[in-house]
Amino acid sequence: MTEQIVNSKKIKAGIIGGAGYTGGEMLRILINHPNVEIAFVNSSSNAGNLISDVHTDLFGDTDLRFINEIPQHIDVLFLCVGHGDAKKFLAANPINENIKIIDLSQDFRLTANAKFENREFVYGLPELNRDTIKTAKNIANPGCFATCIQLGLLPLAAKRLIKSEVHINATTGSTGAGQSLSTTSHFSWRNNNLSIYKAFEHQHLNEIGESLVQLQPSISEVLNFIPQRGAFTRGILASMYVESDLTLEEAQKLYEEYYSVHPFTHVSRKNIDLKQVVNTNKALIYIEKHGNKLFIISIIDNLLKGASGQAVQNMNLLFGLEETAGLKLKAANF
């Protein structure tokens, strides 16, 4: 049964990897979450330092310091670590089995990797697996590209309506590459620039494919995905098209009905832009019809709905809270 947290008892949360982008966003949300107490924030490279010395925007909001220990008197542990590091962390640091784990890396997202020692991870896309998430113990948080693209395709797959190849072009902000420096994350390279990487081979294709098969088991159509690095800080805009016999009105109603019970995903009948979702946990969908092609635009903030915000959304579901608790965030529209 889902745990019910009463108002007088706050969820005690621990964060591993609190110095990075996703760890910082986790802190910004949880500091203001009405039902959460941050028990500790672990960062081996910053142990002893004030959190506000690393995340300077949190000066005046918290006096917490990073620690190098991993206390076990918590309810939930967020793993805000790089890909491959979550599995290494859990192998080296046994965590009490009563502690729920929400992992933001890609280590446990695929069915083949969902079991690790005595833990089993549920794929944490609420718009796909909400009921399963509510009764789970461990969550594999989806990837940012995967979240944005899946939200654009799930309503079609739910009605077995993906009957042709899907063509996807998606652009992400520089924070999608993480905080560690690389050639393509330097300002002098990224600014006023645009580039394609991992064309047709991006790792998020695997989790997208598994989700679509979950809804449309007979699907065999190819997903053609071209990822791009954008000259902006945060957000993902994915545009995709597929052949469809649906009229525009039929498609809009299909999407609106699918997302009517999901508080963060909304279908707009006007064209959309990234500033509508940046700094929020929202996803917006916009649809057009061109001949026999259904054209879909999906937008999210890669660090929130694509990472830390969705992780908190999953925590809310795990502990029987309102799904939107702590996530009613303001967009930076200008």
Residues with catalytic roles: 144
Interacting residues of 294 by C-beta distance below 8 A, sequence separation 6+: 156, 241, 242, 243, 244, 246, 251, 287, 288
Q: Is 331 helix (H, G, I), strand (E, B) or coil?
A: coil
- 287 touches 222 (CB < 8 A): no
- Measured CA to CA in angstroms, residue 225 lies from 85, 97, 197, 199 at distances of 26, 38, 10, 6
Query: Which stretches of 52-156 are assigned E, i.e. beta strand?
Result: 76-79, 100-103, 115-116, 119-123, 138-140
Q: What element of type H or E holds 306?
A: none
- Rounded Cα distance, 334 and 309, in Å: 21
Find, among 11, 10, 12, 16, the residue nearest to 67 by Cα: 16
Q: Is 135 helix (H, G, I), strand (E, B) or coil?
A: coil
